[in-house]
């Protein structure tokens, strides 16, 4: 499964030199790290402010928002599944994924790479 997104660069590879600034990398990393503490609100605010200024930030903002919306759907399903006790097994898995994937995405964004979240439903494109 290819987790690095099919963006303007080769999946998982840095973009061509000169196209991504240090500010773009920082804002993209900030989008992913904000999702750890604010869910979708922090990434949404940064994405709305910066999306027209950088295609790189726009890509990472969409990825972070899609992941957060997907996780909301998965959490809702897990909480409903607690009725039949399966949800108790899903909740620790979702907790780890909700922490691990944004950290991996932030590291990739800081390197200037395009990262595609696994298990993410593409609602914003």
CA distance 104 to 107: 5
Q: Where are the domains of the chain?
A: 22-111
pLDDT of residue 104: 96
C-alpha of 48 from chain center = 15
pTM over 0.85, yes/no: no
Burial-class residue 12 by CB neighbours within 10 Å (0-12, 13-18, 19+). middle
pLDDT at 18: 56
Taking only the tens place, the pLDDT of each residue in 52-99 is 999 999 999 999 999 999 999 999 999 999 888 888 889 999 999 999
Q: What is 12-28 written as a DSSP string?
A: TSBPPTTSS-HHHHHHH
Neighbours of 37 (CB within 10 A): 9
Count CB atoms within 10 A of the CB of residue 75.
16
């Amino acid at each position: 499964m290819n987790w690095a997104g099919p963006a303007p660069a080769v999946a998982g590879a840095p973009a061509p030199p000169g196209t991504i600034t240090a500010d773009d990398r920082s804002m993209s990393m900030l989008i992913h790290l904000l999702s750890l503490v604010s869910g979708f609100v922090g990434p949404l605010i940064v994405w709305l402010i910066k999306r027209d200024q950088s295609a790189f930030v726009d890509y990472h903002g969409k990825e972070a928002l899609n992941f957060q919306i997907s996780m909301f759907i998965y959490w809702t399903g897990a909480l409903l599944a607690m009725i039949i006790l399966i949800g108790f097994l899903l909740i620790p898995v979702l907790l780890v994924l909700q922490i691990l994937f944004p950290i991996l995405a932030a590291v990739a964004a800081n390197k200037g790479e395009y990262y595609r979240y696994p298990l993410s439903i593409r609602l914003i494109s």
